[in-house]
């Protein structure tokens, strides 16, 4: 197979004719496929069917603390749910507060509390002259929307194969007191599926921030979301809370997680994990903000998932559904684009995305072409602050929602769009 | 029965001896009763048992909009839940956004959005020199905690038998541009059980605020919470949204409600009802703050409560449990305190509280004495901004949680404490 990058203009033009005809066929087929969001498929949602109507409620509603989960109380979560989430995050239940259905909402609240009330006695961010966040890119668009919403200046930090560029992170955090936070998805990162190396985690823990109110926003969204049973293909990352403690910075990190992609997207439970000191500060905010979170749903999750082993067992079923879908995406990229010298990607061992780096300057065009042919992708630029991809290259592929056969067709469309966009740009 | 207020010091001293002996008996009995919070009793929670594990799920998970309630999407609520809440609040489903488990959290969010982002293009409250809220007193302590938390200055507005003193409300709202809001519980008010008269509601709707970003915070927490089946003993209030529209101020009110005291305290669903314009502004905030609320729980509530008639039917069962408890409280006050000239109260037709106005200067002492004898009451002062009751008189009695026989004993303790406190203050 001759690489496009090595073809003459004449050869490229010949290819173009064929591709245009193929593309026209796709347009006429009237496809409607969606690879835009990390949405679980109905088959994945069915895995948690028992939560909805088949739990052993006969043992009643009293937690081990003697509280009725159906009534007011326990604003920071039922003990059993704290324990469950602590097992998942490998920390102490004392380091956990259980919230409602969305960890994104916790992250928003944490930024908001810092903005309005300040962290640990420091001036509220809303009254500081300048507040900056570091944003490893490509990253999660919803993180960036939060900081953008609060008018926080976002600084791109390039991702490497072992996590964010730590030289840059250290330079900013240790010297600039206006840098207050960094968004991290440390395991199976969104969108690249990169897991931070031990060295990266240790360098995070060893940061000596110029700002007392600097915090690492550690969104461990995919902590148990492996694609493979084989342990050699399961990424492991160091425990950030333990590392920060060891390094003498126990209060430097806010960790977030949820069961949104374990049980139900939007009807799971979420938690925050941090030092007791940080959590105490957060409890004072919670006591004003709410009467508490949905403890019946916390109870449901405890009864259904039970413990760490129960979660792992359950996640294998998700992997069995997701793995073939990821493999379709990777196979198409491997067979149709990589040999032509068109773009690149990293092979993830877990998470929800494949991040394809298209030839520079073509991502927007590709996503637009795909959409016109009935295949909705995440918007080009979305994985970057202010939706600006400096190279117009990164395209996030979310294979979870469509069925395998749909995905094959959708990837055929995608591949065709990449080729078209490349050629149109280069002739 | 001779009134205490007419007794000579010698007579009062004789009474005191007997009372001290009675009180000592209570102390020794080791009671543990709680009349502090408006907490449903286990029997009330049992009424919604079917929500937990006996719903007709066989019809699947697709809403009428074709969305799977188990997946992401529909950030402002499923159509069926909007319809249910709209029926409860007698408004259009387009005027409803359905949130999570706590209406208090919506109220917090709304104040927070105004503080950080501003309302309808106005300067954020957090950047305005002075922001004030009107607080009808006595009122709901958790409302006041929110405004206090944001450093908003709170101004007491006395309650009358037909709602807040509207002359004062009009004077403040129509003339002072720093007055941005007023906390209202318009039906079966917390703690007095007063329902706003038609004239009061119309005067609210006719306000001409000096501040463009003034809003009425209309917490319709007890909209369907009658104590009596007899319709002549069920309070009705005018529809504030309709009245505001008629008066040409459609955007002036934010209405809140929830099922916390219909189904489960802390695991219900909540909503906000306002003009489409206001709700559109709120949807822009929500789209950054969360991925959505728990739609499975919204679905549960729709399946269980069905419609307005279903809610009313269900609320009768609550009334049957609550009514005898309220009657114990009122009987004890009627028989043991009122004839002695000690304090006063209004007889509520619904809601969750009886508000007893003790002789001036005794409330703190009474609550302290009750606590020492094992009966926990809401803190004296709690129904006032900054927890300061200028007369040290109002005590909120919450009869819902204890059983009837416990309540009788608890009220005996309470009555004894009122008498003791009065005499000790007056001899």
- Cis peptide leading into residue A138 (ω within 30°): yes
Segment A243-249 shows an average pLDDT of 98
Q: What is the pLDDT of residue B33?
A: 93
Segment B299-311 shows an average pLDDT of 97
Scan residues 33-62 of A and list those with Cβ closer than 8 Å to B.
Answer: 37, 39-40, 42, 45, 48, 52-55, 57, 61
Scan residues 289-318 of A and list those with Cβ closer than 8 Å to B.
Answer: 289-297
**pLDDT value at A68 more than 90:** yes
Say whether B168 sits in a helix, a strand or coil.
Answer: helix
pLDDT band at B87 (very low <50, low <70, confident <90, very high): very high
Scan residues 323-352 of A and list those with Cβ closer than 8 Å to B.
Answer: none
Residue B71 contacts A, CB cutoff 8 Å? yes
Cβ contacts (< 8 Å) between B297 and chain A: which residues?
267, 294, 297
Q: Do A266 and B108 touch (CB under 8 A)?
A: no
Q: What is the pLDDT of residue B57?
A: 81
Q: Do B104 and A69 touch (CB under 8 A)?
A: no
How far are the Cα atoms of A304, B8, B176, B364 from residue B359, in angstroms, in the given order? 54, 17, 35, 11
Segment B146-150 shows an average pLDDT of 98
Q: Do B266 and A150 touch (CB under 8 A)?
A: no
pLDDT band at A58 (very low <50, low <70, confident <90, very high): confident
Is A56 or A2 the better-scoring residue by pLDDT? Answer: A2
B316-340 as b/e: b if 16+ CB within 10 A: eebbebbbebbebbbebbeebbbeb
Evaluate whether B252 touches B214 at the Cβ level (below 8 Å).
yes
Q: What is the pLDDT of residue B427?
A: 87
Instruction: Say how many C-beta atoms besides its own lie within 10 A of residue B206's C-beta.
Output: 17
The counts of H helices and E strands in chain A are: 14, 13
Percentage of residues of chain B with pLDDT beyond 70:
100
Dihedral sign, CA of B66, B67, B69, B71?
A: positive
Segment B368-387 shows an average pLDDT of 97
Q: What is the pLDDT of residue B58?
A: 75
pLDDT band at B247 (very low <50, low <70, confident <90, very high): very high
Nearest to A235 by CA among A311, A344, A347: A347
Per the prediction, chain B carries an average pLDDT of 97
Q: Quote the tokens at residue A412.
A: 């055929």
Residue A118 contacts B, CB cutoff 8 Å? no
Segment A242-262 shows an average pLDDT of 98
**pLDDT value at B59 more than 90:** no
Please give, rounded to a whole number of angstroms, the shortest distance from the CA of A51 to a CA of chain B. Answer: 9
**pLDDT value at A35 more than 90:** yes
**pLDDT value at A349 more than 90:** yes
Residue with tokens 């300040």: A118
Cβ contacts (< 8 Å) between A40 and chain B: which residues?
71
ipTM of the complex: 0.97
pLDDT band at A134 (very low <50, low <70, confident <90, very high): very high
Segment A352-357 shows an average pLDDT of 98
Evaluate whether A348 touches A192 at the Cβ level (below 8 Å).
yes
Q: What is the pLDDT of residue A53?
A: 87
B157: left (phi over 0), alpha (psi -120 to 50) or beta: beta
Find the CB nearest A296 among B72, B267, B291.
B267
**pLDDT value at B60 more than 90:** no
pLDDT band at A233 (very low <50, low <70, confident <90, very high): very high
pTM over 0.95: yes
pLDDT band at B111 (very low <50, low <70, confident <90, very high): very high
Segment A363-391 shows an average pLDDT of 97
Per the prediction, chain A carries an average pLDDT of 97
Cβ contacts (< 8 Å) between B104 and chain A: which residues?
289-291
pLDDT band at A57 (very low <50, low <70, confident <90, very high): confident
Q: What's the pLDDT tens digit per position in A286-330?
A: 999 999 999 999 999 999 999 999 999 999 999 999 999 999 999
Q: Do B265 and A72 touch (CB under 8 A)?
A: yes
DSSP character at residue A41:
P
Q: What is the dihedral of CA B330, B332, B336, B342, to 10 degrees?
A: -40
Q: What is the pLDDT of residue A225?
A: 98
Gap between the Cα atoms of B313 and B224, Å rounded: 10
């Amino acid at each position: 197979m001759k690489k496009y990058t090595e073809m003459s203009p004449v050869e490229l033009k010949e290819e173009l004719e064929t591709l245009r005809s193929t593309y026209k066929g796709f347009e006429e087929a009237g496809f409607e496929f969606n690879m835009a969001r990390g949405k679980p498929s109905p088959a994945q949602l069915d895995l948690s069917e028992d939560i909805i109507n088949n739990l052993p409620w006969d043992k009643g509603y009293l937690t081990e603390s003697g509280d009725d989960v159906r009534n007011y109380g326990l604003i920071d979560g039922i003990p059993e749910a704290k324990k469950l989430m602590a097992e998942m995050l490998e920390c102490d239940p004392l380091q956990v507060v259980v919230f409602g259905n969305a960890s994104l909402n916790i992250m928003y609240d944490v930024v908001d509390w810092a903005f309005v009330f300040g962290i640990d006695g420091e001036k509220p961010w809303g009254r500081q002259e300048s507040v900056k966040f570091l944003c490893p890119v490509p990253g999660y668009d919803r993180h960036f929307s939060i900081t953008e919403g609060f008018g926080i200046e976002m600084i791109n930090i390039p991702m490497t194969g072992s996590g964010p560029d730590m030289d840059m992170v250290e330079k900013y955090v240790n010297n600039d007191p206006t840098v207050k936070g960094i968004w991290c998805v440390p395991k199976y990162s969104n969108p690249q599926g990169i897991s931070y190396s031990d060295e990266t985690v240790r360098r995070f823990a060893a940061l000596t921030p110029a700002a007392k109110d600097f915090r690492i926003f550690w969104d461990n969204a995919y902590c148990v979301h492996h694609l493979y049973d084989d342990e050699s293909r399961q990424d492991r990352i160091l425990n950030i809370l333990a590392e920060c403690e060891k390094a003498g910075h126990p209060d430097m990190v806010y960790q977030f997680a949820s069961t949104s992609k374990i049980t139900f997207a939007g009807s799971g439970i979420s938690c925050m994990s941090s030092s007791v000191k940080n959590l105490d500060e957060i409890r004072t905010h919670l006591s004003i903000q709410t009467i508490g979170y949905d403890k019946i749903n916390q109870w449901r999750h405890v009864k259904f998932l039970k413990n760490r082993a129960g979660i792992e067992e359950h996640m294998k079923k998700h992997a069995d559904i997701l793995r073939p879908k990821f493999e379709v995406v990777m196979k198409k990229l491997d067979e149709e684009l990589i040999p032509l010298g068109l773009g690149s990607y990293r092979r993830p061992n877990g998470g929800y995305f494949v991040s394809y780096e298209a030839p520079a300057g073509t991502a927007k065009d590709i996503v637009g072409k795909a959409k016109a042919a009935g295949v909705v992708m995440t918007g080009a630029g979305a994985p970057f602050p202010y939706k600006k991809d400096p190279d117009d290259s990164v395209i996030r592929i979310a294979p979870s929602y469509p069925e395998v056969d749909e995905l094959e067709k959708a990837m055929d469309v995608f591949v065709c769009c990449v080729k078209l966009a490349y050629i149109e740009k280069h002739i």
